[in-house]
Amino acid sequence: MQREELERFAETQRQFLSGFAHHILVCAGLGCLHNDEIIKALREVIAAQGLEQRVLVRKVGCMGLCALGPVVLILPEEISYQTVSPHDAAEIIAALGKEPVQRLLLPSTLPFFTRQHKNVLALSGRIDPESIDDYLAAGGYTAVLKAITAMRPIDIIRQIQESGLRGRGGAGYPTGLKWSTVAKAGGTKKYVVCNADEGDPGAFMDRSVLESTPHAVLEGMIIAAYAVGASSGYIYVRAEYPLAVKRLKLAIREAQQKNLLGHAICGASFDLNLQIRLGAGAFVCGEETALIESIEGRRGIPRPRPPYPAEKGLWGCPTLINNVETYANIPLIINRGATWFAGLGTEKSKGTKVFALTGKINHTGLIEVPMGTTLREIVFEIGGGIPGGHAFKAIQTGGPSGGCIPAEHLDTPVSYESLSALGSIMGSGGMIVIDETTSMVELVKYFIQFCRDESCGKCIPCRVGTAQIHGLLEKFCNRTATDTDLATLERLCDLVKNTSLCGLGQSAPNPVLSTLQYFRQEYLDRIVDPAHSHLEGQP
């Protein structure tokens, strides 16, 4: 399909949308339950009052503030309503163009809205994720057109390199460098893969991006495939995200119909076929070589690296694997330029980052901030602080592979380097706030149990080490640990971290190590008095 045709689709949709006096946007993300009933109720009221030509109800993606969902947005007035139920439909319609419904009003001056900087999430909650026309009308796929018709692959890769974009899946490897490795690799068959196996418990950035703007991810993948010379691709997505899978499938079909996927894309001599592969509930498959094994239909057991997937990946061919959010950043960089992107963030961590804020925090939800924003701003301004008058104790970043950062480091600007300097990691972007009612030792036991259960069993340090660490933590929880156990725990963590095969094992001890660093007293308090330890009946 040529540029003119796509522009015509976009223009038609824009005209259709501009024909309505009011738009009612209803969040249809997973977190806003009963949104279908709200949409139905609104449409019924509109039909009963004969307002079909004036008011348009649209289902859109996530608006971010999941804690106060279901959220409804009225355009063009930019009025947001919180915790809407189907019974509120008549009142919302009656208030259109008049004073908003005070009872439901969500103040737009909340720091949650004003302090964010939305790039990847800019269209999230603004367009219908199940309509390619909506995405086109909002300027979608212009980056693909620009890349394919006006740029050489090498120019695209250079632009990504200059932008300073780093992998959003956790490790922070420079994206442009990865692309250039795959582009330079020999062989005629290459693959692009989107890692949407968001396994960290407490993280839902990728789910939300896939549910809200699936076409942005496809657009990023198309550009990537063109740049590295791939003609096939896979999106490996968790089976636990049925809504995201459904919307992705639809998006792929719509993109095929518009010749944005398939044969001779946009009239160029460039083909790309994308397929979805469902995960099946194995955390380790988020590791890139395990993910490859799983796409090939086997148990998700990591391979030793090198060779890296960029040289030998799927079926031994060069394979580019990037995370959902990384791909979603690509169209923005192509459209707005490397300089624009590099102007955001810190010296070594460029751009913005999406975080999922959860745990003991008022504004649970999805946020996007420039790199370099401090943890304090995220927790206390955007996140609205801790509920129930409790005190902040720690923030856990990076999921089960990450660490716990205590209050004294709240003023740390968030970047790949700063978080790892504190003994944690950026990870994919999960942030779990912990208040003083949670015991760190218990929480760490939970994470280690997770890693123990999810260890694939291939390498001994991870398989046996995580089980041993879990056993030791159990003793701390039961208050039967001794000084020797503490020393063993530290030694074991060091061993597992340094000798495991893949990222799962290498990072599994992180929660233990970071809490031993910042909350050591909690461990010491649980050690039995050495003088009486023989009374505990321990062997």
Residues that bind other proteins (CB under 8 A): 30-31, 33, 66-67, 69, 198-204, 207-208, 239-241, 277-283, 294-300, 356, 358-360, 364-365, 396, 399, 430, 432, 434, 438, 443, 446-447, 450, 456
Of 153 and 359, the one with the shorter C-beta distance to other proteins is 359
Of 278 and 495, the one with the shorter C-beta distance to other proteins is 278
Of 148 and 366, the one with the shorter C-beta distance to other proteins is 366
Phi (first) and psi of residue 342, to 5 degrees: -70, -20
Q: Which of 450, 458, 434 is nearest to 509 (CA)?
A: 450
Least separation, in Å, of the C-beta of 325 and other proteins?
14
Of 19 and 281, the one with the shorter C-beta distance to other proteins is 281
Phi (first) and psi of residue 110, to 5 degrees: -55, 135
Residue 487 burial class via C-beta count within 10 angstroms: exposed 0-12, middle 13-18, buried 19 and up? exposed
Q: Which of 457, 399, 459, 370 is nearest to 197 (CA)?
A: 399
Least separation, in Å, of the C-beta of 531 and other proteins?
34
Structure-token match 């923030």, residue found? 395
Least separation, in Å, of the C-beta of 301 and other proteins?
8
Structure-token match 């900087």, residue found? 117
Q: Using DSSP bridges, classify how beta strands 403-406 and 392-397 pair: parallel, antiparallel or unpaired.
A: antiparallel
Of 57 and 244, the one with the shorter C-beta distance to other proteins is 244
Crossing angle of helices 483-499/460-477, nearest 10°? 150
The single-letter DSSP state of residue 238 is -
Of 333 and 512, the one with the shorter C-beta distance to other proteins is 512
CB 156 within 8 A of CB 410: no
Of 204 and 226, the one with the shorter C-beta distance to other proteins is 204
Of 157 and 434, the one with the shorter C-beta distance to other proteins is 434
Phi (first) and psi of residue 404, to 5 degrees: -105, 125
H or E stretch at 518: helix 510-518
Least separation, in Å, of the C-beta of 313 and other proteins?
14
CB 489 within 8 A of CB 534: no
Of 133 and 198, the one with the shorter C-beta distance to other proteins is 198
Q: For 226-245, give the secondary structure using H, E and C.
A: HHHCCCEEEEEECCCCHHHH
Structure-token match 């930019």, residue found? 78
Structural tokens at position 136? 């086109």
Least separation, in Å, of the C-beta of 110 and other proteins?
15
The single-letter DSSP state of residue 83 is S
Least separation, in Å, of the C-beta of 210 and other proteins?
10
Residue 144 burial class via C-beta count within 10 angstroms: exposed 0-12, middle 13-18, buried 19 and up? buried
Least separation, in Å, of the C-beta of 164 and other proteins?
29
CB 120 within 8 A of CB 239: no
Least separation, in Å, of the C-beta of 445 and other proteins?
11
C-alpha distance from residue 401 to each of 127, 183, 404 (Å): 34, 31, 10
Least separation, in Å, of the C-beta of 36 and other proteins?
13
H and E: helices and strands count for the chain: 22, 14
Beta bridge partners of 397: 403, 431
Of 67 and 486, the one with the shorter C-beta distance to other proteins is 67
The single-letter DSSP state of residue 265 is G
Least separation, in Å, of the C-beta of 286 and other proteins?
11
Least separation, in Å, of the C-beta of 203 and other proteins?
7
Length of the chain: 539
DSSP letters spanning 245-263 = HHHHHHHHHHHHHTTSSBS
Least separation, in Å, of the C-beta of 467 and other proteins?
18
Least separation, in Å, of the C-beta of 211 and other proteins?
9
Q: Which of 453, 442, 448, 432 is nearest to 519 (CA)?
A: 442
Structure-token match 């209050």, residue found? 407
Of 151 and 394, the one with the shorter C-beta distance to other proteins is 394
Of 96 and 278, the one with the shorter C-beta distance to other proteins is 278
H or E stretch at 195: strand 191-196
CB 418 within 8 A of CB 412: yes
Least separation, in Å, of the C-beta of 204 and other proteins?
4
Of 270 and 447, the one with the shorter C-beta distance to other proteins is 447
CB 210 within 8 A of CB 247: yes
